[in-house]
Structure formats: C-alpha cells, structure tokens
Structure 1
C-alpha cells in the first residue's frame, strides 16, 4: 500500500489559460468622485406675505428672471400710489420755488430745502417699489426647480424655503488624488467618468480647478472637472468612477489577467504552460508587475509575448503538475480593461 501511494501519479488539474500579448497602453489614474451643480440654491422670499400665485410646475426647467411666485402686495401698492402723489406734489413745489428764486423772492437755503424734500419723496417711491419687488420671487439662474414647499394662501415669513433650484448644464465633478500625482496634474487634462445609471456610456470633461493645498489628514489634493452635460443626464450628487490620463504617449506593453498572478510577499509569480511528451505541464515563474486597469495588469519582466499562462486553478498547481485546459468559455476569467459591473 505504501509503495502504491509513493508511486501514484499526480492527478491532472483542469485549468483555464490565456496567451499573453502586447496592447496599447496609456498611463491612467483611477478614482471615484461626485457630481456637483455649479449653482444650487434654496429659493426663499425676502418679505412676508400671503402666496397668491405659483407660476411653476414641480421638477421643470426655468430660465433666469422667470417669475416663480408672487405674494399679496395690495397694501404696498396702495402705499406706493400715496407716495407717488407726495412726490408729484413735491416736484410741483420745487418748480415753483425755482421760479421764485430766479426772481430773487426767496433765499437759496429755502430752495435747497425744497430740493431735499423732493429727493426724499422720490427716494420713498423707489423704496416702496423695491419693497413690492420683494413680494415677487424670480429665478436667479437657468436650471431645474425642485418640488415646491409652499401652497396658495399660505402666509410665509422672510426666509421661508419655496423650492430648490439647481443648474445642470454644465456640471462639476469633484474628486481627489494622492499628493504623489500632483506633479502630473494640470488644467485642461481630459477626465473620463462613468455612472451607475448608464454604465456603458463614458462622459468626458476637462480639469478646471486644482486645489492649492494638500489635505493633511489624507495627503490628497482636491480636483474639480467640468462636464458640458447638454442632455442633463448627469445630476448633482451622482457617484462617478473617474479616469484621468497621466500622459499623452501611448505605449505597447505586455498585459496579463490579474487572476493569473500569485501575489506573494516574496514576489509575484505565474504558472507558464509547457508541452512535454504529448502532455501539458506548468512551471512557476516570477514576474515583475506594474500598473493595473480593470481585469488586466502590466508585466514588466518575466514573460514574453506568446507565452501561455494559467488564469484559474492556481491553488491546485505546483511545478511539473499535469494540466488539462478547459474549453468551457463560461469559466474563463474576464480580460476587460474597462469592466462594468451591472447589478442584477
């Protein structure tokens, strides 16, 4: 029995395999970020009053200067008419005093007093007009207005929230990168972003702001990019996966699936497939790896184009193990540089 087990042949291991080859490669830095509106404000009124008109629909586009709500201003308008009458009378008195002064029937100080009274009357009219304008709320910029928070006939106080107005075109993307990447950053760099709502579409923007300081707690720098967003697909608060080009030159590098690498403290290794006596065996080989992207990793040293390596089943292998390569494509690990995970 001992002799049988000592001479028992090692079982053949079923694995998956791939052939390493060169691919175009551009250095990229990946991170995550959030979209933020360039303008985003909670609309409030400056004056108190009763709401008598609501002139917008929930979640619709509005233009800058568009009238949104009006408050009852009947008392203020009546006061305005009174002040306009006072100002008109003050102007008549001023013209009469100007004629009297011209004929030297009054002193200059009396004329100055009437001029001051006329100016005060006009200022009172302007002040009342401004007070009436505060009873009307207009959009400060183009955007999409949210759900209204007031109703017709409601008495509201100054500062009462009416609705939220958010601009969507263009839109900012805020993200951070390690301070080691600061020397490679510059305004105008291309930024690519994907969102969960449309995982197959890549949105492109430009870096428009780089923070002048590094956050001490995380040793990272804040970066802001701007996206045109003409179709308003990107919305404030959306999560984004961000890719930032680190150079303009595209190089040909040797790529291998990350699933083929044994990551060890003493060095990374792969199992290279060799043909021996009409059988397939594997030989472990140490490799030097580089940057990663998606399912792939750069191989700097240790492999040559055309080498076949094992991509799954590594834990069952040792030097000289006999293998059989599975022809089931469903068990083949992915080799995508830009994989998108879709929740099912």
Structure 2
C-alpha cells in the first residue's frame, strides 16, 4: 500500500467514526431551527362559569326603617338619653318630658284603687254571711273597675312623656336640649335602621318579564368605587308609570358595617337569567361574515391547530358565551390567531387565567428569546 492510499484510508476511517456525531448535531440544529420557525401562540381554557345578562339602572338608597321622632304633648324636656350617631336598641328611653303632675295624678288614682279594692273585699265577706246586700257589692266592684280604667288612661298619657326607640338603629343629630319647651309635632331626632338598606330604582316596562323577586344584583356607589355591594330584588312595583313606561323595583342590600346611607345614589346591575355556561376569551373569535370560528389546539399533537365553527351567545367585558362547538377544558388560541392556519403546529407560550394576562405571557416570551440569544 502506498503512502497516499494509507493516508486516505485513515481519513475515511475517521470520517466514518465522526458521522454519527455529525448526524446528531444536524438533528439538533434542524430541530432548533424548526422550533424557532414554529409560530408562538397564547392559549386559553374553555371553562364552565356563572353567567347572566346584565341590566343597568340608577337607584336611591333608603333605610330599612326610618322615622323622625317628635313630641305628642306640650311640656319641658328634662332628660336627653342619647348622643348624635349613637346606635341604640329598640325600647331605649331617648327623651323624657316633665311629668310630675301626671305622676301625682297616677299615685292618687292608685291609692283610690287600693281603697275601693279593700271595700269590695269587705263587702264580699259580709255578703257571704248575709250581712250586706248583693247590690252594694256590685256597686263597689263597678267603682273599682272605674278607677282601674282611670289608672290605665293615666299610664297611657304618661307614656306620651317618654319617647322610646321604636326599633334598633342609628340616631341622627338631636335638635333639642334639656329645658326646651316642646309641643306636638316638634321634631326631636331621626332614627334609621341601617343593617339592611332598601334600594329603589326603575326599569323599563319591557324588562318586567325578565325580573322577579330573588333575582341577584350588584350595586356600586361613587363614595366607594372599589366596593361592590351584593343584594337581590325584594319587590316589584304594582304599577307602571304611564308617562315614562317604567316600573319601580326595590332591592335589599346588606349593610352590617353601616357604610351605606339613606339618599345615596347607586349604579345597579341586575343579573338577569343567571346560568352556568361555557366561557372563553373574546379575543379567540375569528369572525367570517355571520359565522364565528376558533382555533382549537391539540395538546397531544404538538399543539396542532384545528379550525372549528362555534355558536356564541352573550358577551361581557373580554369574554364571550359559547353555546355550541366547544367543550369545557378545551384549549383555544387566544392570541396569535392571525399568524396560524388550520393543521399547523404551534409553540405554546402559556395559558391565560385569572392571574396571568396576555401582556405578561408576551413579556416572558421576549425575555426567553433574548436569553437564548
């Protein structure tokens, strides 16, 4: 064997040994290039969620119970037993008027009752021994009943000198002081029961068939824009306004912390036709004339795309109701629909949910691409 043929033989042997390594390198390079060429997309799960058709209105709050306390007799205030804004229980004494004269009359009537009761007892004992006529006993009993009726009348009049809380609630500003002379109709203080609030609002006549007592709603006040108050319809008005063609609706809102106050304006959203339905991001829709399509990702086949027609229902902010064409748990393209076609494999950057948005996933994808050079 010549020197030249020996050289080529050694070279061929080395090439044969290096060929598998070269093939591995080429495979890695081609796989990397293919991955880089695969279109990146962001997916979203089709989920079963609560849904309703919102109906918006403006309403005004009222206290569950509200009263302006006033005097029913003319006399002087001798006791004020509350503070502005104080929470009081039902039956608490709030204001007492001068009642010394009425108390004296009551004591006199009670003494007379005791005297006539003793007379009735004495005559009854005599009558049992046939020592007193029956008519005298009956007359004494009638006089006793009369004085007892007088006592009841005095006690009722005395109640007018004590103003009690008719229900538990929050006191308003007091408009009277000790020593003031008040007369019937004089406004002393307001009392509001705020644990439950009444929310009155109007709806169009056409909505009558879509609302009913017990229907849930939410309300937001300008005073607390970040807080949503939940409630439900309590009563629907019995009449429709013939001018505005609207009906008044009253809802009940929980207000245990007393943040809501009577007279506040509330923006109301009535949750009509509550139901469980399939929901997906509105960005996944591909409109084509009167029809709607989505791109479904096959998770078992390199996220291959399947173009599928769907039937949609109502929409809300960023989401759409799916009536036909999809099942719960399926993965659809929520971002990147314009860059992929039916049957094409894709590269999934991530899945959006309540804690992850499309901008966050796009940012992660850019960071990963820069890190890989």
Smaller-chain TM-score bracket: 0.5 to 0.7
Deviations 1:182-201 (A, max 9, x none): 11112211110000111011
For residue 68 of structure 1, give the secondary structure of its aligned residue in structure 2: strand
Q: 1:226 aligns with which of 246, 252, 255?
A: 252
- Quote the residue 2:201 is aligned against: 175
Q: Distance in 1 between matches of 2:277 and 2:212?
A: 19
For residue 124 of structure 1, give the secondary structure of its aligned residue in structure 2: helix
CA distance 1:60–1:202, shift in 2 (3 Å): same
TM-score w.r.t. the length of structure 1 is 0.66
- Quote the residue 1:311 is aligned against: none
Name stretches of at least 5 consecutive residues in structure 1 with no aligned partner: 1-20, 257-289, 299-304, 309-344
Give the RMSD, CA atoms, in angstroms. Answer: 3.1
For residue 195 of structure 2, give the secondary structure of its aligned residue in structure 1: coil
For residue 169 of structure 1, give the secondary structure of its aligned residue in structure 2: strand
Deviations 1:217-238 (A, max 9, x none): 2111211111111111111111
- Quote the residue 1:154 is aligned against: 180
Q: CA deviation at 1:109?
A: 2.5
Q: 1:202 aligns with which of 214, 228, 237?
A: 228
Query: Is the contact between residue 281 and residue 319 of structure 2 (CA under 8 Å) also seen in structure 1?
Result: no
Q: CA deviation at 1:206?
A: 1.2
- Quote the residue 2:132 is aligned against: 106
- Quote the residue 1:74 is aligned against: 100
Alignment of 1:27-176 (within 5 A): 27-176=53-202
Query: Is the contact between residue 280 and residue 320 of structure 2 (CA under 8 Å) also seen in structure 1?
Result: no
Q: Distance in 2 between matches of 1:107 and 1:88?
A: 22
Query: Is the contact between residue 26 and residue 250 of structure 1 (CA under 8 Å) also seen in structure 2?
Result: no
Q: Distance in 2 between matches of 1:180 and 1:196?
A: 28
CA distance 1:297–1:35, shift in 2 (3 Å): farther
CA distance 1:249–1:178, shift in 2 (3 Å): farther
Q: Distance in 2 between matches of 1:35 and 1:156?
A: 31
CA distance 1:177–1:249, shift in 2 (3 Å): farther
CA distance 1:217–1:253, shift in 2 (3 Å): farther
- Quote the residue 1:193 is aligned against: 219
User: Could you tell which deviates more after superposition, 133-142 or 245-254?
Assistant: 245-254
Q: CA deviation at 1:93?
A: 1.1
Task: Find the structure with the greater CA-based Rg.
Answer: 2
Name stretches of at least 5 consecutive residues in structure 2 with no aligned partner: 1-43, 284-312, 322-333, 339-373
For residue 246 of structure 1, give the secondary structure of its aligned residue in structure 2: strand
CA distance 1:293–1:239, shift in 2 (3 Å): farther
